[in-house]
Amino acid sequence: MTIPIKAGYTPEQRRQLASTKLDQFFGSVPPDLYQRVVSLPKRIAQMNARTAIKLQEVLRTADLIFKHAEPFAACARGCGHCCHVHVPIADFEAQYIAHHTGSTPRALKQNVHHERSEFSAATPCIFLKNGECSIYECRPLTCRMHLNFDIDPYWCLHENWDQPQAAIPRPDILPLMEAYHLLGSKTRPIVADIRDFFPSGKTT
C-alpha cells in the first residue's frame, strides 16, 4: 500500500506535529499499562523461564503499548519502506523467529557489523513479501518499535534517508530495550542483521 505524502509541510512543521502526536500517544497509555511497561525489566530479571518465554513477554508488552500508538503514527499495513533498512537482531531472537516459522537460522560465530550505506531500496528484508511482513506475529522487537509519528512516511522514503534533516520521530520506550538486553545477559548474544541469520528467508 502506498501512503500519500502530504505536500507543503516544512521539516520543522513535521517535527512539531510529530512531537504533539507523540505526547498524545503517551497521554493515551492507561496507568496500569504504563506500570506494566516500566516494571518489565524487573519482571524479566525475576522470571524463571526460558529465553523464548521471556522474549514473548517483551514482545507482548510492546504490542500492548504500541496498540495505543495506532491513532497517532503514520504507519499502516503494507507501508514497507522501513523494511529495507538494517534490522539488527540477537541470536536468541533469530531462534525465536526460526521456531515460529519452521526455518533454520545460520549459526553465526560473531557479530556482523553493517554500515547504513549498505541499505537502500534494493535491500528488502528477506521476510517482506508482496509489500507485507510475512512473519508479522513473530517479527523482531526492533520492527515493532519502528513507528513513525510524522504525518506520513516522507522521511522513510529511500530518497530521503540521507537528507541532512531526515528524522523519523519515534518513541523511545527504554524499558523494552532494557528488558531485551537482559535476555542475553547469561551468555553474550551474537548480533547481526536479520538477513545474515536468514539469507534465504523461510526456506531451510
The footprint of ligand SF4 (CB under 6 A) covers: 74-75, 79, 81-83, 87, 125, 127-128, 133, 135, 139-140, 143, 146, 148, 153, 156, 194
The CA dihedral of 12, 18, 19, 25, to the nearest 10 degrees, is 180
State in angstroms the smallest separation of the CB of 199 from ligand SF4.
13
CB 46 → ligand SF4: shortest distance, Å? 29
- CB of 42: closest distance to ligand SF4 in angstroms? 28
At position 131, the amino acid (one-letter code) is G
For residues 191 and 108, is the Cβ–Cβ distance under 8 A?
Answer: no
Our CB check for ligand SF4 shows the closer of 74 and 191 to be 74
Give min distance, CB of 143 to ligand SF4, in A: 3
- Contact call for residues 79 and 45 (beta carbons, < 8 A): no
Place of cell 553493517: 114
Q: Which residue, 17 or 133, has its beta carbon nearer to ligand SF4?
A: 133
Cα distance between residue 68 and residue 91, in whole Å: 29
